[in-house]
Structure 1
């Protein structure tokens, strides 16, 4: 059975529109294009099966086709029910990649798509949030036999992997791509910072300047969201549980206070923690009328939506991706994208130039696992520095930027303890 016949997508007739989106993204992904030239000639993944669970949109499609061009048989599914774009899924299916994904599937369909992707019996996996790894280790250990290892895209997935590793239950090596230093800088900070506000602004069509934005969590993603909110003219409040990060937020010029206090002031709330219940019923009780709630973490657990629904006397959709909750005292609170990842559920995700670098890390780390899985062992490893630096150098070269190099004398000086 060929990939088109095996695939589960909403409508293959959408493929031409998906291909247009992919062509646009590819034009702005010079690092992946450089890798494609090399890997399509060398075909280092020939004979390998690769299973991918990522946000299924145009930039992801470019990564999937790169891995296919490197010789692999690729099966792909989404990593969030609201981030799959049906035209992209269709375009990939007709291009020879097996796809199990639809926009807004039922929970049962979403789970089934993940399992069907794993039933292709992959040698390597790329995961986003840890769903593939979780299913392999809990429900379908019968599919573990061929898996050499893989890569994880996001903080939430790495937390799950570290938990498996700690209890010695992890069955294969995984590279923590999210923790690459370059990814912290460009993806988590600049990518999330821009794409979150892209999603919020296109969804609400409301001004940010002069408003108060509460950013929950000041990790790399929170830094980006806060920085862009400030640039849009907002007053920014940061809430944190980590004293060092809170100190950094203060030194960066933001107001820092507990969430119980910040809840009284925010016009916009953006969660970026990866933890559950960071905005809860206690906070809803004191929020201003018209407050807008958005989540920028992987799973829809950061805002306690169940508590908000229980408090509300009515709920209605007032605009695409905006739900209005009417509270007993007459206040209205607005939830974006069902509390799911706002930049992808209500937008197109990170800019192409950002994902160009992130997905180059993914591709090179996948090759690293393929070639070194026996040496790595059953553990979570950081991205090797040479891969991190290589991607950064490719980016600089693609943009015509040159940097200095150490002289031989400088290298000797830095390597010596003597003055």
Structure 2
């Protein structure tokens, strides 16, 4: 990253009464919060709405649960409008991985039992695909998509793995570890032409993308509303179109099992569904306060600024590696997310990256995301409206030097024996 290409720091967003945006969240001010993309953050107004709903549930559970399916159906209408989906196509599930599990449980082998994924796939969803392939007596084929691949190269890499034995394609819309878009619309059209079902993992897409379903041809799409849309955790959408959706059933059978899709997902016994009902409050809060278009523009500008500030600090470290601090060459980059290369020795694999995440939180009091791709470690920045330029400047000033020391120590450490982790 060139230090001469200065990205201006965007003016922090404020609440209507002039307070910083972060005052609308309950995040611990003693911690830095630079990793909205992993688990999201719920504004206080949505927390309060969920608490009120839980209190209502506990006051009269025998009244609450029989009436719950109708209330969930009403929430689906609001959430479908936000996503640009038809309410009759959308079911609510706890998270994107649960949605993938619903799909995997519904499908049967029709050809050779092969499932095509990419090497950018989310681990839990890919593991589910591997389990399904074993059940089918088939196998998973992994398309390698270079980090810097543009739309055409990424599309060709996936399509090259399709064949007569392919029974399912699973592709991320926004990749979790590598913060890039994949051309799911083009892949979807080709999969439909070949008669192959497509599951689009759009876990990060709701609110990060203005219209995540526009132009996307797929049989199934899953997206977490508790990430960028800031809904209470445990809120995700499963959108299903076409005849295969009639096979979909919730992971818990309840008295609504005989209902058509998606109504049968609205009744799940004693599951606490208050997150579903409170989700519109979070979405409406951002829209009323700043507007989602303004919020997305701010997040994108802030991610640019943060990547430059932190990248420049990494680049100034002595003996950190020639590419330390470089903004990753990501084909089809994602708004609001950036990858900055770590010094050599850090984040060499997923376990190493996860350990780094935990150590930084514990010792440096910053919640940050560290990822690995092709043996290279990255800091993944994901900005939201409550973040400010000062958050990234603090990380550059206080955390980057320590990470440099840890990297030097990691490079001096002897390699772990074969078959053993460090």
TM-score between the two structures when normalised by the length of structure 2:
0.29
Task: Tell me: higher relative CO, structure 1 or 2? Use CA pairs within 8 A at least 6 residues apart.
Answer: 2
> TM-score, normalization: structure 1?
0.29
